[in-house]
């Protein structure tokens, strides 16, 4: 793209030297996620959507690492760099967000000489089970150069069920070989197939006798001084997509190699060029803020794919060795914060995420039954294989955080409204909304002239339960109202109980007119600053009097210092301040609530701000990222998605943070067609079809 192209993102600055305390780079296409080290040939970690095992400590279903598919080693005159202290010397690493390519440079220092190495790594969006890597080795003098590509299970929990270099019934083999890897606890399996290429003069060898060892291919050549190129491609298939994942990995890799590395690279560039047509431009905000927005857009879109079988976790497909990453479970944060913007930016991927919830409907129904309730109760932490509850230990949150199902139902309603897909509404959205509505009316109890929720948890996740959590009540009214409307749209009569409970659900008000977080709320209590009630205002647009809305906004926004640093809702403070008309505070809270969460290599957004909470850096965290992007696309422009004309989704004049003039997006997908958004400060946002 040309430099003047408005759809060209700002990539983060290169990282120099060794990784140190930073998180490794995260490369993903939404089906496969790689943690790539500062020397990419040293195995990082690989997560495959839907591949699960039993967690070694907590013994619950968890997303587990597969053998790293793009490992390797380099030898000069027979001496391997991996076996020499300081044999690999990291130089720098750069991440091109425009093409989703990670480029790493490092040196090999050995007695026989020195080599400069450049590695390009990417995850293919056109061939979603395939990851690719090109290794270019530049020698300072002639020597015997050996390159080894390796899929190495060393250090990965699980067992080798099959390893073979041949392709049954075919000569020659269609690839370098394949393995079938079974996870610990036998809960899942992953097939990995490898293909490599090198110069024709290179001598190629493998180790057919090592039945449980690495899958590797070695190239050796008498090399001149100068540049030499090696390429690796691997296909990773989870057993949730195929019952013989190793055989299917071979098939899919064969299709990829038939296209060739260069074609896959070109197709990946084209796929990302298409995604970047939805780039969110912050006119007047400056290059730093635009770079922050581009990073959020990139990580959000990189972590989802229409081919993903198991949605995505609140860390996408990222994990690392020093943190649990919530075991890769699918949690309500994804439905609440990631699906809304993705519905507009990448609707096929959003649909795949909702398809995972559809697959989990039987588990949600069983979950409700085990709690003695009617309808659907979606899990607190859903395992990615079957959508069942997978929270570790006693899982007290799973029992009391009853707002989870409401976020799932709302995501279905929002997608139905934005897509205009009548078949989706009838076959997917209606079963979920009606099931959750049945659960709501069963969970609510009568108290005088109102309905209430007793002994419930809210987004603060306090130790003690409370009555009438504000977010739960407000979200329940949104879901019930939409379920009643949906029944009418498909020609059904909603149960009278739905309307009865809807009319009787009211949040508790404080004496000053603000919505109390729960009955008996005190500003001195544990996690009192948690702005759960504000989530009912935006992004949920719960119906209430304007005085109640504004008083509630002011009450909780004034307490921002007590919450910022925590995950999830902090990313929305800038929107809430803007809705109060305070541009200076909106800018400050965009900084405090999101920008300062970005940390380390390549602007990965962390779960917690390290300067506030300390602890382990864990990211990229999609509740924060999704909340920020939701704010840019829907909150600051004040767009309320419904089943009406999108030209009328804007509900109030735009107030932008100090210095920001316009938010622009040249392509949002609405009702199956591209639309353009222009939200100028002081005016009503304009949505128009292209």
What's the pLDDT score for residue 3? 53
> In terms of DSSP bridges, do strands 143-152 and 673-680 run parallel, antiparallel, or are they unpaired?
unpaired
Residue 131 forms part of a structural domain: yes
Do 131 and 121 form a contact (C-beta atoms < 8 A)? yes
**Tokens representing residue 254 in the block:** 């064969």
Same domain, 227 and 294: no
What's the pLDDT score for residue 405? 98
Same domain, 30 and 171: yes
Residue 297 forms part of a structural domain: yes
Helix (H, G, I), strand (E, B) or coil at 445: strand
For residue 356, what are the contacts with CB-CB under 8 A and spacing of at least 6? 308, 309, 310, 311, 330, 384, 387
Query: Which residue shows structure tokens 């008309």?
Result: 581
Confidence class of residue 482 from pLDDT cuts 50, 70 and 90? Answer: very high
Residue 132 forms part of a structural domain: yes
Average pLDDT over residues 368-381: 97
Burial class (CB in 10 A: 0-12, 13-18, 19+), 548: middle
Q: At which of 235, 253, 275 does a domain end? A: 275
Distance of CA 147 to the CA centre of its chain: 34
Q: Provide the residue range defining the domain that includes 68.
A: 15-275
Gap between the Cα atoms of 405 and 364, Å rounded: 9
**Tokens representing residue 549 in the block:** 């809305």
Average pLDDT over residues 659-684: 99
Do 49 and 317 form a contact (C-beta atoms < 8 A)? yes
Average pLDDT over residues 418-446: 98
What's the pLDDT score for residue 460? 86
Residue 8 forms part of a structural domain: no
Helix (H, G, I), strand (E, B) or coil at 481: helix
Gap between the Cα atoms of 379 and 332, Å rounded: 9
Of 317, 354, 359, nearest in space to 335 by CA? 354
Distances in Å between the Cα of 680 and the Cα atoms of 356, 577, 629, 686 are: 37, 17, 17, 9
Do 460 and 512 form a contact (C-beta atoms < 8 A)? no
Same domain, 592 and 652: yes
Same domain, 271 and 291: no
Average pLDDT over residues 115-134: 99
Same domain, 209 and 308: no
Same domain, 364 and 253: no
Residue 7 forms part of a structural domain: no
Percent of the chain whose pLDDT exceeds 90: 94
Q: Provide the sign of the torsion angle of the four alpha carbons 627, 628, 629, 634, taken in this order.
A: positive
Average pLDDT over residues 444-458: 95
Q: At which of 275, 295, 323 does a domain end? A: 275
Gap between the Cα atoms of 540 and 414, Å rounded: 10
Do 499 and 485 form a contact (C-beta atoms < 8 A)? no
Confidence class of residue 477 from pLDDT cuts 50, 70 and 90? Answer: very high
What's the pLDDT score for residue 506? 97
Same domain, 353 and 242: no
Residue pLDDT, tens place only, 29-62: 999 999 999 999 999 999 999 999 999 999 999 9
Same domain, 632 and 497: yes
What's the pLDDT score for residue 1? 44
Confidence class of residue 615 from pLDDT cuts 50, 70 and 90? Answer: confident
pLDDT above 80 for 242: yes
Same domain, 225 and 366: no
Same domain, 550 and 672: yes
Q: At which of 220, 249, 275 does a domain end? A: 275
pLDDT above 80 for 320: yes
Distance of CA 319 to the CA centre of its chain: 12
Confidence class of residue 156 from pLDDT cuts 50, 70 and 90? Answer: very high
pTM: 0.97
What's the pLDDT score for residue 462? 87
Average pLDDT over residues 625-629: 98
Residue 6 forms part of a structural domain: no
Strands (E), 154-272: 159-164, 177-182, 189-197, 203-205, 215-223, 226-238
CATH number of 295's domain: 1.50.10.10
Residue 5 forms part of a structural domain: no
Query: Which residue shows structure tokens 């009211």?
Result: 506
CATH number of 109's domain: 2.70.98.40
DSSP states of 527-562: TTT--HHHHHHTTT-----HHHHHHHHHHHHTTGGG
> In terms of DSSP bridges, do strands 15-16 and 203-205 run parallel, antiparallel, or are they unpaired?
unpaired
Confidence class of residue 86 from pLDDT cuts 50, 70 and 90? Answer: very high
Average pLDDT over residues 448-474: 94
**Tokens representing residue 171 in the block:** 């000569």
Confidence class of residue 664 from pLDDT cuts 50, 70 and 90? Answer: very high
Same domain, 526 and 487: yes
Average pLDDT over residues 446-467: 92
pLDDT above 70 for 272: yes
Residue 391 forms part of a structural domain: yes
Helix (H, G, I), strand (E, B) or coil at 140: coil
What's the pLDDT score for residue 421? 98
Same domain, 381 and 267: no
Percent of the chain whose pLDDT exceeds 70: 100
pLDDT above 80 for 424: yes
Confidence class of residue 300 from pLDDT cuts 50, 70 and 90? Answer: very high
What's the pLDDT score for residue 2? 45
Gap between the Cα atoms of 662 and 680, Å rounded: 4
Residue pLDDT, tens place only, 59-74: 999 999 999 999 999 9
Residue 328 Ramachandran class (φ > 0 left, ψ -120 to 50 alpha, else beta): left
Number of folded domains in the chain? 2
Residue pLDDT, tens place only, 649-661: 999 999 999 999 9
pLDDT above 90 for 210: no
What's the pLDDT score for residue 281? 99
């Amino acid at each position: 793209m040309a430099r003047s192209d408005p759809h060209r993102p700002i990539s983060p600055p290169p990282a120099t030297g060794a990784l140190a305390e930073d998180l490794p780079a995260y490369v993903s296409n939404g089906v496969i996620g790689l943690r790539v080290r500062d020397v990419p040939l040293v195995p990082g970690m690989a997560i495959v959507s839907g591949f699960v095992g039993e967690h070694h400590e907590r013994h619950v279903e968890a997303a587990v690492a597969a053998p790293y598919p793009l490992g390797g080693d380099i030898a000069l005159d027979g001496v391997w760099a991996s076996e020499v202290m300081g044999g690999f010397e990291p130089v720098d690493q750069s991440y091109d967000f425009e093409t989703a390519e990670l480029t790493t440079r490092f040196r090999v220092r050995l007695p026989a000489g020195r080599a400069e190495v450049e590695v390009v790594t990417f995850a293919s969006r056109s061939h979603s089970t395939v990851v690719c890597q090109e290794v270019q080795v530049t020698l300072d003098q002639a020597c015997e150069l050996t390159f080894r590509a390796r899929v190495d299970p060393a250090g990965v929990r699980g067992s080798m069920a099959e390893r073979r270099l041949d392709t049954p019934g075919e000569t020659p083999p269609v690839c370098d070989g394949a393995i079938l890897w079974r996870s610990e606890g036998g809960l899942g399996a992953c097939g990995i197939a490898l293909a490599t290429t090198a110069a024709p003069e290179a001598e190629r060898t493998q180790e057919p006798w090592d039945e449980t060892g690495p899958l590797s291919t070695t190239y050796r050549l008498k090399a001149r001084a100068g540049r030499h190129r090696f390429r690796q491609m691997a296909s990773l298939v989870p057993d949730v997509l195929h019952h013989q994942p190793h055989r299917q990995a071979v098939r899919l890799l064969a299709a990829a190699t038939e296209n060739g590395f260069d074609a896959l690279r070109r197709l990946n560039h084209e796929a990302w060029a298409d995604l970047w047509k939805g780039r969110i431009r912050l006119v007047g905000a400056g290059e730093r803020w635009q770079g922050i927005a581009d990073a959020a857009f990139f990580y959000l879109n990189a972590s989802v794919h229409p081919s993903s079988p198991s949605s995505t976790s609140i860390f996408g497909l990222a994990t690392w060795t020093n943190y649990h990453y919530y075991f890769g479970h699918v949690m309500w944060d994804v439905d609440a914060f990631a699906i809304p913007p993705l519905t507009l930016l990448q609707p096929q991927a959003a649909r795949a995420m909702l398809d995972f919830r559809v697959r989990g409907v039987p588990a949600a129904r069983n979950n409700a039954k085990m709690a003695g309730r009617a309808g659907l109760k979606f899990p607190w932490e859903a395992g990615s294989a079957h959508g069942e509850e997978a929270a570790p230990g006693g899982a007290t949150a799973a029992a009391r955080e009853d707002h989870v199902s409401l976020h799932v139902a709302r995501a279905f309603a929002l997608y139905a409204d934005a897509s205009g897909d009548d078949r989706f509404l009838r076959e997917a959205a209606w079963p979920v909304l009606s099931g959750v509505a049945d659960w709501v009316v069963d969970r609510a109890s009568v108290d005088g002239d109102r309905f209430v929720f007793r002994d419930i948890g809210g987004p603060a996740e306090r130790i003690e339960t409370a009555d009438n959590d504000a977010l739960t009540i407000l979200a329940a009214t949104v879901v019930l109202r939409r379920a009643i409307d949906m029944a009418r749209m498909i020609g059904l009569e909603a149960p009278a109980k739905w309307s009865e409970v809807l009319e009787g659900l009211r949040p508790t008000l404080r004496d000053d007119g603000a919505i109390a977080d729960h009955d008996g709320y005190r500003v001195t209590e544990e996690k009192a600053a948690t702005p759960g009630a504000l989530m009912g205002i935006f992004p949920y647009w719960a119906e209430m009097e304007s005085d109640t809305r504004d008083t509630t906004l002011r009450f909780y926004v004034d307490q921002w210092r007590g919450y910022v640093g925590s995950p999830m809702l902090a990313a929305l403070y800038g929107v809430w301040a803007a809705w109060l008309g305070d541009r200076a505070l909106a800018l400050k809270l965009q900084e405090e609530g999101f920008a300062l969460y970005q940390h380390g290599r390549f602007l990965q957004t962390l779960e917690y701000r390290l300067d506030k909470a300390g602890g382990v850096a864990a990211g990229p965290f999609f509740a924060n990222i999704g909340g920020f992007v939701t704010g840019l696309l829907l909150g600051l422009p004040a767009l309320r998605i419904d089943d009406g004309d999108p030209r009328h989704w804007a509900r109030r004049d735009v107030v932008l943070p100090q210095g920001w003039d316009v938010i622009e997006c040249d392509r949002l997908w609405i009702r199956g067609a591209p639309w353009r958004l222009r939200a100028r400060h002081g005016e009503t946002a304009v949505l128009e079809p292209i």
